[in-house]
Chains A and B, each alone.
Chain A
């Protein structure tokens, strides 16, 4: 398996523009997570899905952020309108907690999308 795939790897946009980040989880993984990492706040969980259903979106900063998972192999994180403070690295991760003998929360992370909002 190619692992978790994220696109684009780098995105530079201007304030006010819409930004869409994409993620393809590992095949067979039924959990998908979106994280954001900044120097000031570290690595934060934004939202996660189980079987394409959002379970916890308490980390989503505000209404400008939205995430969808239309099917098991694709998810998007959208920011509209974008602001300079949204500049960060956004990671997607997936897991299959019941793949072993019990619940195992090993999450597999993608390479991240580095977003710069000017």
Chain B
């Protein structure tokens, strides 16, 4: 699976949109981009995933560039409860048996009141 690169930390004001970038320049055509987050002292939580089209759900939006070398997770109206470590993971799920998630160091997002 492709390596992903994320900033170590970011701050965002409460109520504003939080935009978390992720670089995955070596991503292959079969690799999806997954985002998870981990709130302090809890287990990781799935947020969203996508292949090449932009995706949106009740938690966030995922914008993937046309060349798929980078993506941005958008939390439209950040709240204090969104303070967490956010992980971007590239995963090839086209082959049965490749269900492993490899977590990097992620981005520590702090929402400022």
Contact = CB atoms under 8 A, between A and B. Distances in A.
Interface string B47-88: 001000000000000000000000000000000000000010
Nearest to A97: B99
Contacts, number: 55
B62 to A, nearest CB: 14
Interface in A61-111: 91, 93, 95, 97, 103-111
Given A103-B93, A105-B34, A105-B91, A91 B101 contact: no
Contacts of B43: 4, 91, 93, 109-112
Nearest to A3: B43
Contacts of A107: 44, 46, 101
B contact residues, range: 20 to 34
A79 to B, nearest CB: 20
A109 B34 contact: no
Given A42-B104, A42-B105, A111 B42 contact: yes
10 smallest CB-CB distances across A and B, nearest first, come from A109-B43, A43-B103, A106-B46, A103-B93, A91-B43, A109-B44, A105-B93, A112-B43, A105-B99, A45-B100
